[in-house]
Amino acid sequence: MRLSLTTWNINSVRLRIDLVAKFIKAVRPDVLCLQETKCIDDAFPLKRFKRLGYEHVALNGQKGYHGVAIISKLPFDTTDVRTFCDKIDSRHISVAFGEKAQLASPMVLHNFYVPAGGDIPDPLENPKFDHKLKFLDEMKTCEPLHPRGEDRHILVGDLNVAPYENDVWSHKQLLKVVSHTPIECEKLLEAQAHGEWFDVARERIPQSEKVYTWWSYRAADWTAGDRGRRLDHIWVSRALKDRISDFQILRAARGWERPSDHVPVTVTLEV
């Protein structure tokens, strides 16, 4: 069975529902994971998604900030929400696909929105950065999150860290900029290694090549200088590593009318 999955920080699902619909009609992923939905669950545009062919939705939202959602053509066997750093701030949701989706072996999908961390890369001066570092630590130590043995797990989302030199437009200039500081990169990679996760982008694209999924709104022309960062990730467990058949970053979406500052990232697997 072939399964395609997209992760996208949409930066307000209600504001950009027409862009989501445009993307869905063009790409038709089986599963769409959104971050920064910025709405309570009761306000989520369920009817629009159902008209687009997505009957199954798992939500963890709140008013105005954060929020994650998994929208799927396939039914879920179970859903789960985890909290990190003792904060109820809508940054995680997971689902399990199994018999209802007619999968021979179960598969667990986690969707994350890691804290951005503010502008000052000092946990003593900036509580937001302190929160981000603690969140990344908990991602590492949360054992139920991590696959073991033949577990078929996928972890996606806006992880808000660009961990490698060529995940940013300038490694030297961004070493003291939140999202690429050495401590953030170290903690994200430690969480990845602890779970024996494989970073799909860097499995498919050599680390010598520049790869971005985000371009700041602060730039008047996002294409000028191409000053991007790779903040959006798809990780798979060892059992799924050799089942990846395609991987795409839809860079063109950053140039759509009233776009998100992130673009959709899609993986296709043989499951």
Name the domain count of the chain: 1
Backbone angles phi, psi at 214, to 5 degrees: -145, 140
Provide the token pair at 60.
């963890």
How would you list the strands of the sheet with 68-72, edge to edge? 56-60, 68-72, 31-35, 2-9, 265-270, 244-249
pTM comes to: 0.97
pLDDT in tens, 65-84: 999 999 999 999 999 999 99
| Mean pLDDT calculated for residue range 33-59 | 97
Residue 80 lies in domain: 2-270
d(CA 262, CA 214): 4
Condensed to tens digits (0 to 9), the pLDDT of residues 96-145 reads 999 999 998 999 999 999 999 999 999 999 999 999 999 999 999 999 99
CATH number at residue 10: 3.60.10.10
* pLDDT classification of 219: cutoffs 50, 70, 90: confident
Residue 245 has pLDDT above 90, yes or no: yes
| Residue 220 confidence (pLDDT) above 90 | no
